[in-house]
Structure 1
Amino acid sequence: MALSNVEVAVLGAGRMGRGIALSYAFAGVPVVMLDLKKRSAEGRALLHDEALAEIRRDLEFLVSSGLLDDCKVDKVMDRIGFAAEAQAERMLASAAIIFEGVPEVLEAKQEAFAFVNRHAAPDAIVASTTSTFLVNELAELVENPDRFMNAHWLNPAHLMPLVELSKGEKTSDETVVSLKASLESVGKVPVICAAAAGYIVPRIQALAMNEAARLVEEGVASAEDVDKAIKVGFGLRFSVLGMLEFIDWGGGDILYYASKYLSGKVDPRFESPDIIASNMENQRNGIRDGVGFYDYDAVDVDAYRHSRMQDFVAMLKSRKLLPEEGQARAASEQRAAGAH
C-alpha cells in the first residue's frame, strides 16, 4: 500500500487499533496505524513487527474458518500501513476518518488530539474509542468539535459487529451520518447512545457479570454451572431477541412482579425501574396489549413470532442444541442392548 493513499487513520497500534485497521483493510479500505509515542528505533521496529504479525495471525484464523481465501491474505495486509510520528504528519492530512485508540490516560489523549489538531484536515471526522472518558470531556480537546464523537468498538474489533457511537453536545448530525455510513460499509452495526458512562453493552454486562460472580460467592451454583446456564440459556435467547423486545414478549407486568419478588427475597437491587411500573399502569405490557417498548399495532404478530422462532431454531441448530425426535427411547434401547 502506498502510505500516502489512506482513507482511515488509527492513532495507536495496540489491540484495538489493530482490530480497527483489520476491519477496514478486510473490507477493502486503505488504513494506517500511527504510533505517536516516543520510542527508540528498536522499540519502534518491534511494535511494527508485533502489530503486523498479530494482524496476519488474525487473517490466518479467518482463512482456517473459511471466511477468507489464503491467496487474499497478502492483499489485505497490503492495505495496512504503519507510520511513526515523522510520517504520521502527512498520513493524517489525507485521512477522512481518524480513530483515536491510545491508552486510557488523559495525558495520552491530550497529546493525541493535539497532534490531530495540528495535522489533520479540518473536516476530518475524529472519533475516540475510549471506554472511560465521556464524549463531551474529550470534545474540549478537539478543534471543530462538531466533527467529533466517541466510537466504542467491542473486542475482538475485527469480528464483533457492534460499534457504540456516543454523540456529544456539539457533534453535528452530518458527522453522525457519515461515521455510521463508514462503519456500515465495512460490515459493522452502529448504535447511537447519549453521553453517559458505560455506553450500552458495558453497562448491561457489568451488572450481569457482577450478578454471576455473586451467584458463585453465595454458593448458589458452581462457576461451571453458572456459565453453562449463560451459554445455553441467557445468551441464546438474547442473541435472537433484544432485552426490551423480550420484555414485550413476556409482558412488562411479569418483569415487575418477578423483580418485586427478587428485591424482597434477595436484594433491593432487583427492583424494576419506574418505566416498567409506568408501562404496566398504562397497559403497555407488550405484545398482548399491542404496545410496550415497541408498537405492535401494525405488526402481524403471528408472522413476527414465527420469524423470531425460526431465528431461534437456527441458532440452536448451529450450536447442536436441538433435541432429536425419539432420542430418549434410542438411548434406552442402546443401553439395554449393551447390557446383553
Structure 2
Amino acid sequence: MTAPDSMPSPRVAAVGAGRMGRGIAIAFAYAGHRVSLVDLRERSDDAWQRLQAEARGEIEASLAGLAALGMFDADLVPTISARVELVRADAAAKALSAVELLFEGVPETLEAKREAFEVINAHCPEDAILTSTTSSILVTQIAEFVHRPERFLNIHWLNPAYVIPVVELSHHPRTDPAVLARAKALMEEIGKLPVVCGPTPGYIVPRLQALVMNEAARMIEEGAATAEEIDKATRYGLGLRFAALGVVEFIDFGGADILHHASREMSASVDAARYQAPPILDRMMAQGRLGLKSGSGFYDYAGRDVGAYRADVLLRTLGMLRHAGLWRAPVSTTVG
C-alpha cells in the first residue's frame, strides 16, 4: 500500500546515488513522498546517462519485486518510481536549497564525508535536518564537518532500507533534542521503527549481530556444526525466540541468574574473554534483581499481571511458529 500524493510531505533528499541512497528513496517514495536522489560527482553526459539508467532500473526492479510478492498492486510501480527525482551534480545546489530532511550516503571515508558536507553546508537551509547514514564512522566524527551540528545526527538504515523497519538514530552531545524528536517522528510517519542510541561504535543491531556471526564462523571452523545445522538452529531456535522476545526482555524472562551461570560455564569451557558476564549482571545478582521471577530486572514488573504477560509471550511465540509453518495440530488418535 502507499500513501496518497496529497499528503503533507517534507522535502527529502538523499545525497549519493548508490545502493543506500536508492533504498532510502524507495522507502520515502513508497510512503508517498517526493525525493531528490542527488549525485555530487561530476560526470560526463554518457556516465550520467548510465547512472540514471542504473538507478532508475534498480528502483523499478525493487518495487516490481515487492509487487510480484503480493505486497501491493503492480500498477503502482510507475507512480511510486516517478516520485524519485534523479539530480545531477550541476543541479545539486537548487535541489538542496529546498531540503528539510537530508540523508548523506556517500562512500565510507572521512574525506568523502567532508567533501559532501562542504556542498551540503553551502546549499541546505539553516533549519534543515542533516543526517549521515554511515555504518562505520562515529557520528561525533562527522559532526565536525557540519555547519550546524545541533541539527545533525546519524540515521543508520538496515538493508534492504525499504523493507527492514528498524532505523538506528545515533545522536551526539550537541544534537538538539527537538531535532532528534523530529527525525524520529519523520521516520515513524513513513512506517519505520526508530531506535535511539548514543555515539557508540556499531550502534545496536550491527554490534549484536557481529558477535553472533563471528561465533557461527568459529563453530564451523572448529567442526562443532555444519553451516546448515547452525542456520537451522538460528532460524527456528535463536531467531524464532528473539523475534518473539527482545534480547533484554529475554534475559528478564528466563532470569539474569541463568545468563550469569551460563556465562560462567562458557567462559571456563570456551573462551573467558568472549563469555565473561559484564559487571551489570554481577550487580543485579547481588541486588536480587533477577528479572520476571523477582519482580525486577532490566525492567520493573511491579503491578504487572505476570500471568497475562506470560500468555502474551507464548502467543507471540506461537505466532512465529505458525509463520514458519512449524506448528502442528495435536494427534487425535493414540499411536501404538
- Report TM bin, short chain: over 0.9
Does residue 298 of structure 1 match 2:303? yes
Q: Verify the 8 A CA contact 1:6 1:94 in the aligned structure 2.
A: no
Matches within 5 A, 1:138-157: 138-157=142-161
Residue 308 of structure 1 aligns with which residue?
Answer: 313
Matches within 5 A, 1:1-340: 7-268=11-272, 269-326=274-331
Distance 1:85 1:57 in 2: 25
Shift of the alpha carbon at 1:89?
0.7
Distance 1:275 1:44 in 2: 54
Distance 2:46 2:334 in 1: 67
Q: Verify the 8 A CA contact 2:10 2:101 in the aligned structure 1.
A: no
Shift of the alpha carbon at 1:327?
8.9
Distance 2:188 2:159 in 1: 17
Distance 2:24 2:284 in 1: 40
User: Alpha carbon RMSD of aligned pairs, Å?
Assistant: 1.6
Distance 2:46 2:307 in 1: 64
Q: Deviations over 1:298-336 (max 9, x none)?
A: 211111111121111111101101123229978x9xxxx
Percent of residue pairs bearing the same amino acid type: 45
Q: What SS does structure 1 have at the residue aligned with 2:186?
A: helix
TM-score, structure 2 normalization: 0.95
- When residues 14 and 328 of structure 1 are mapped into structure 2, their CA distance, relative to the original with a 3 A threshold, is farther
Shift of the alpha carbon at 1:73?
1.1
Distance 1:57 1:299 in 2: 48
- When residues 327 and 20 of structure 1 are mapped into structure 2, their CA distance, relative to the original with a 3 A threshold, is farther
How many residues are treated as equivalent by the alignment? 328
Distance 2:270 2:333 in 1: 37
Shift of the alpha carbon at 1:281?
0.8
After alignment, is 320-329 or 296-305 more displaced?
Answer: 320-329
Distance 1:38 1:85 in 2: 6
Q: Verify the 8 A CA contact 1:96 1:124 in the aligned structure 2.
A: yes
TM-score, structure 1 normalization: 0.94
The one-letter code sitting in structure 1 at the alignment partner of 2:122 is R
- When residues 28 and 326 of structure 1 are mapped into structure 2, their CA distance, relative to the original with a 3 A threshold, is same
Shift of the alpha carbon at 1:245?
0.4
The one-letter code sitting in structure 1 at the alignment partner of 2:319 is A
Shift of the alpha carbon at 1:65?
1.8
Q: Deviations over 1:129-150 (max 9, x none)?
A: 0011111110110001000001
Distance 1:70 1:232 in 2: 32
Distance 1:132 1:192 in 2: 17
The one-letter code sitting in structure 1 at the alignment partner of 2:321 is L
The one-letter code sitting in structure 2 at the alignment partner of 1:12 is G
The one-letter code sitting in structure 1 at the alignment partner of 2:91 is Q
Q: Which runs of 5+ in 1 are unaligned?
A: 333-340
